[in-house]
Structure 1
Amino acid sequence: MAGVQRVLSKCQRCVDDGNFYEAHQMYRTLYFRYMNQKKYTEAVDLLYNGSLTLLKHNQYSSGADLAMLLIEVLKTSFSPVTEDTIDKIVDLFKNMHIDCPERQPFMAAAVFWSTGAGNQKKSGHPVLHQKFAIIFWQEKNYLQARYHFLHSSDGQTFSTMLIEFNIVKGYPSEVDLFLAQAVLQYLCLQNKDTAQSLFKCYTRDHPDVNDGPPFLFPLLNFLWFLLLALDGGKLPVFTVLCEKYETSINRDPLYKEYLDRIGQLFFGLPPRNNNQPGFLGNILQSLLEGQGQESGGADGHSSNRQSTGKTTHSMAAVELD
């Protein structure tokens, strides 16, 4: 223990004297010592403090190197996601310069670690995504902020960011489009509660949205009815909604892809068959099959279900994966 303290004191002197290369090497030496002894908690604290020290002295490459080693320790030790660990990761990320080449790889490694650290979300821990989203929002990087908010459970803060994004970067005619894409993508990710929270906060707080429902924007009325229909899960209701608001849905070609997936997840719609005439054709075909199943019994249901095939959809993979 005394030997470690001597090395740490020497590290601090190197930092004070501006000898950052030597300080970096000593941090790495102590890191290997801790790992050989399986002192993972000590290794995490060492790497966090060392990385933060170097980053605050604008030694971004060296600081990021220690930060990446911290993620390796978390993976090696199978450390669970905790509030303290998330705060350490986010603090280091925030102190990396926006143009630091290692910044994005560090974030990606942290998110990947969180997928296997007792977290059921394959896309990463929602709190970690939320913290990253807020940092990107503060940096006015709306697209990155939007991506990470989509993988969080914070619909209220996402709403505030999305309103600002629309006002700063969008057009008045796109007020409903900014919300619709996010709500539909949340539903594709099976995050119904956050989709409802986002819709409620956005329509309540956006200065260009009237008090509703009903709303002046037909697409917002569609979203409102859709969110209400989710709990019932009745395909005919979903079909009527999509037919009634087809003009609004057609404003963005991706909406039909999203709605096809939502139909499968929440309303029992089978995957689209390549021979079927598009999105509404898929829904109507399913309804016709359902009528035949009612007269044909349970065996007929199973046979029709299997005959639809298993076509997969692109569905804006960058946004949703």
Structure 2
Amino acid sequence: MSNRSVEKTRNRLKKLIEDGSHYEAHQQLRVLCQRYLKQENYPAAIDIVFTGATSLLKAGQSGSGGDLCLLLLSVYRDGGVKPTSESKGRIYQLLNLLPTEEPTRKRFLNEAVAWSAKNGEYPNGDPDLHHFIGNLLAGEDEAYAAEKHLLLGTKESAEVLGQLLYRWYAADDSFKVGHYAARAVLPYLLLNNVRDANKVLDIFSSNLTENNKNLTNSLVESMTSEIRVFPSLPLFNFLRLLVLTVERGQADTFRNLRSHYASHLNDVPDWNEALDQIGEIYFDIQIRRQQNLLDMMGSMFGGGGPAQPSGRPRLQAAAPSSAELD
């Protein structure tokens, strides 16, 4: 079928939706999509399904629109479509139109990431896509869901994650700052992303000093670096020293650090497995058993913190930038 014919069909179906014949348009769109797929005309199938989904969502038909969103991903998978700026751009547009209460939205999020992992170069899913989804969920105060995507996102994701976790921490007991910072720092280290572990700690340090004028702290300088420590926040200090030790690659210092903070680390036993893995990754300290990284992150995120943060400033889900680490 020619481009002109596809455009004519697309416009006819858009008119059908605008006239209120939503069910008829939805059914015709699915039939046309299957016809194009049999012809292996994937561009036409993508064009017609994306246009139809957009029109139905704008018309308030979230159920039918959500169904076509899932159909679009099916076409992507069948057609071997790669995660490009164009293919991801369609997903971003549809996500901004799908209502938060629409049941198919969560499935669309998950399947979009799964498609990008299967058809792209990143086994855990495309970082730009993770950044967009994490940013979107953070703006909706869905902290538990957002943090997992932001951890696997771009270099811009660390800023969003750090600010999100600090706002989340601010609604809890003041001594739990280390608990919240660790939700980003430990996974980042497990992902070999020291840069963003430092970024999150810098965000926490800056917010702590600006928002708690009476909080005692001091700047400790060496020939190669400087860190701010807070005597009343031992677990937070441990995380800062942990990242510094990782950067310097000092196995003995790592062992001594865990020993020195042992009494405080006893209060966070769920950190132990992550710290063991960090010891093996960076210092070649062998451990007996390894847990899958994503499973470990899931267990770390399973508890702690308020049920959901609320009343937070919304963050706009802007188009993401490059996923490459500096």
Cα distance between partner residues in 1 of 2:218 and 2:88: 38
Cα distance between partner residues in 1 of 2:163 and 2:117: 27
Cα distance between partner residues in 2 of 1:148 and 1:211: 33
**Which residue number corresponds to residue 245 of structure 2?**
229
**Which residue number corresponds to residue 166 of structure 1?**
169
**Which residue number corresponds to residue 219 of structure 1?**
235
Paired residues of 1:186 and 1:194 also in contact (CA < 8 A): yes
How many equivalent residue pairs?
282
Cα distance between partner residues in 2 of 1:211 and 1:151: 32
1:205-248 deviation per Cα after TM superposition (whole angstroms, max 9, x unaligned): 34347574332122222222211221333321110111111223
Paired residues of 1:204 and 1:211 also in contact (CA < 8 A): no
Say what the alpha-carbon RMSD is for the aligned residues.
Answer: 2.4
Give the percent of matched residue pairs that are identical in Structure 1 and Structure 2. Answer: 28
Q: Quick check: which has more Rg, 1 or 2? A: 1
Kindly provide the amino acid, as one letter, of the partner of residue 257 in structure 2. Answer: L
Cα distance between partner residues in 2 of 1:140 and 1:27: 34
Pairwise mapping of residues 35-50 of structure 1 onto structure 2 (< 5 A)?
Answer: 35-50=37-52
Cα distance between partner residues in 2 of 1:204 and 1:211: 13
Paired residues of 1:7 and 1:26 also in contact (CA < 8 A): no
Cα distance between partner residues in 1 of 2:285 and 2:25: 60
Cα distance between partner residues in 2 of 1:14 and 1:185: 49
Q: 1:319 to 1:126 in 2, by over 3 A?
A: farther
1:80-131 deviation per Cα after TM superposition (whole angstroms, max 9, x unaligned): 21223222212212322222221111111110111122323x2211211111
- How far 1:251 sits from its partner (Å)? 2.4
Paired residues of 1:254 and 1:315 also in contact (CA < 8 A): no
Q: 1:317 to 1:84 in 2, by over 3 A?
A: same
Paired residues of 1:147 and 1:319 also in contact (CA < 8 A): no
Kindly provide the amino acid, as one letter, of the partner of residue 132 in structure 2. Answer: K
**Which residue number corresponds to residue 312 of structure 2?**
none
- How far 1:316 sits from its partner (Å)? 4.8
- How far 1:179 sits from its partner (Å)? 0.5
Paired residues of 2:137 and 2:146 also in contact (CA < 8 A): yes
Q: Are 2:296 and 1:315 equivalent residues in the alignment?
A: yes
Cα distance between partner residues in 2 of 1:12 and 1:127: 30
Pairwise mapping of residues 1-321 of structure 1 onto structure 2 (< 5 A)?
Answer: 1=2, 2-120=4-122, 122-153=123-154, 154-167=157-170, 169-206=171-208, 207-208=211-212, 210=217, 212=219, 213-216=227-230, 217-272=233-288, 310=289, 312=291, 315-317=296-298
Paired residues of 2:187 and 2:297 also in contact (CA < 8 A): no
Aligned partner of residue 230 in structure 1, secondary structure: helix
Q: Which has the higher contact order (CA 8 A, sep 6+)?
A: 2
Cα distance between partner residues in 1 of 2:10 and 2:99: 25
**Which residue number corresponds to residue 278 of structure 1?**
none
Runs of 4+ in 1 over 4 A off after TM superposition: 209-212, 310-314
**Which residue number corresponds to residue 316 of structure 2?**
none
**Runs (5+) with no aligned partner, structure 2:** 220-226, 302-326
Cα distance between partner residues in 2 of 1:261 and 1:95: 41
Q: 1:318 to 1:112 in 2, by over 3 A?
A: farther
Aligned partner of residue 214 in structure 1, secondary structure: strand
Q: TM-score, normalised by structure 1?
A: 0.80
Paired residues of 2:113 and 2:129 also in contact (CA < 8 A): yes
Q: Which has the higher helix share?
A: 1
Paired residues of 1:181 and 1:255 also in contact (CA < 8 A): no
Cα distance between partner residues in 1 of 2:240 and 2:61: 50
